[in-house]
Amino acid sequence: MLGPGDDAAVVSAPDGRVVVTTDLLIEGRHFRRDWSSGYDIGRKAAAQNLSDVVAMGADPTGIVVGLGLPADAATGWLDELTDGFRDECDLVGASVVGGDITRCDLVVIGVTALGDLGGRAPVTRSGARPGDAVAVAGRLGYAAAGLALFREGLNGPPELIEAHRRPHPPYARGPEAAALGATAMLDVSDGLLQDLGHVAEASGVGLVLDPEAFTIPYAMRDAARLLAVDPLEWVLSGGDDHALAATFPEDVRLPPGWTVVGIVTEGTGVQVRGVSVDHGGWDHFRE
């Protein structure tokens, strides 16, 4: 309703409730300017917040951005960054409604995203029940594979390299899942096993995944052979793709875009049937 130019923006909230989320990205920890353009970083910073909004079953409405920039951040780079914010928001009909900027030794980006539930109940992590189906939407393992290639200085399949630079969250699937009666949902940012572990803990249930349900693309298989790793590890433990994972009552017929990969059970934790895997995922405080 009122964008940048005043002390604060004004954003409509037709539902009467506002979904709010925030994320912080720090150069060298979450991105590198020699690996990603300003435009890529802007898209990535906006995407990981907008994805959290849709994971609640809400429609994103706007973002505000806090920037810390070093002296060597050129004006052209900043223009690319803000273009990235704008273009990612355009995908969901949201706007960049304001922010702040200051001098800093490294590039630091803080994004806060807002969303509207449209009269729906929020989909939390705590509603999964035994017998529910576990399903995912979006890509898994792409960004982790791209990061592994970057770290080894290798040129791999371009879709994997691009996935590390810029995620492609399945934005439409979040509100869709809410309308279908999803019992729990979250954004997969730190690895599927780790993030589903939050659903298991919050809901007081166990989850069993079927490794045969995951489709591993040829590009990822090629990269895995190049690096001598098991690509399933990227799919199960890799972060930064910002897919969605949700649980649904067993009688719900899921539309294209969702893949059933497991079931909710009595018990605790997340297991992968017949496979020994690393449940690590991404941890901000682990070396």
The annotated binding site for Mg(2+) is made up of 7, 21-23, 52, 100, 187, 190
User: Binding site for substrate: residue ranges?
Assistant: 30, 240, 282
Q: Pairing state of beta strands 59-69 and 133-137?
A: unpaired
**CB environment 2-16: b (16+ within 10 A), e (fewer):** eeeeeeebebeeeee
Residue 208 token pair: 């069993």
Take residue 196 and report the two structure tokens written for it: 């589903």
CA 252 to chain centre: 24
Per-residue tokens: 255: 């539309």
Output the known binding site for ATP. Answer: 99-100, 125, 189
User: Reading across the β-sheet that carries 259-265, which strands appear in turn?
Assistant: 184-188, 243-248, 133-137, 259-265, 206-209, 269-272
Tokens of 126: 């705590």
**What phi and psi values does residue 277 have, to the nearest 5 degrees?**
-130, 160
Helix (H) or strand (E) holding 135: strand 133-137
- C-alpha–C-alpha distance, residues 80 and 88, integer Å: 12
Residues at the binding site are 7, 21-23, 30, 52, 99-100, 125, 187, 189-190, 240, 282
Phi, psi of 270 (to 5 degrees): -120, 130
The residues pairing with 270 across neighbouring beta strands, listed in sequence order, are: 207
